[in-house]
Amino acid sequence: MSSLPAMPTLLFVTVPTDEVLNKEGQVRFPGTEAAVQQLTEAGWEVEVIDPLWPGPLTRVQAGGVDAVLVSCFKAVPRSRDAASTLSRLQPDTPVYTLGVLQKDDAFRTMAPAVGILRNLGEFPTG
């Protein structure tokens, strides 16, 4: 009897967010529920957590997290801080963000190890 390998676990740091469109009207973020479905279809076991610190750090330190995706689309206090701090304190766990503007050089300077994605389709498959 063969068992299927476990899907990798993705910690999705977010608050409920509706669909987000870019300037051309294309979908940048499908909304939280649709994003979870898309990530699951891409091979991830998705665990959603609020960005309230130190929750994300505590969860990553508990183990079993293969990657972290932080949504910065909604005005969530500290979501970008959570991404940059996680990348520094847990360097073995890849951290990605969605919703950081391309022109945001300050974030890129303080979080050089964070993968900044333009849309959910750029996230690696599990």
Q: Tell me, what's the pLDDT at 2?
A: 45
Q: Tell me, what's the pLDDT at 32?
A: 92
pTM of the model: 0.86
pLDDT greater than 90 at residue 119: no
CA distances from 36 to 9, 16, 110 (A): 12, 11, 28
More confident residue, 76 or 34: 34
Q: Where are the domains of the chain?
A: 9-122
Q: Which residues are within 8 A (CB) of 74 and not within 5 positions of it... i.e. 6 or more apart? A: 14, 15, 17, 99
Hey, what CATH topology would domain 9-122 get?
Rossmann fold (3.40.50)
Q: Tell me, what's the pLDDT at 63?
A: 95
Q: Tell me, what's the pLDDT at 45?
A: 95
CA distances from 67 to 21, 89, 92 (A): 25, 14, 9
Q: pLDDT digits over 46-90, tens only?
A: 999 998 889 999 999 999 999 999 988 876 557 888 888 899 999
Query: What angle is formed at CA 11 by the lines to CA 104 and CA 116, rounded to 5 degrees?
Result: 20
Q: Token pair for residue 9?
A: 């676990």
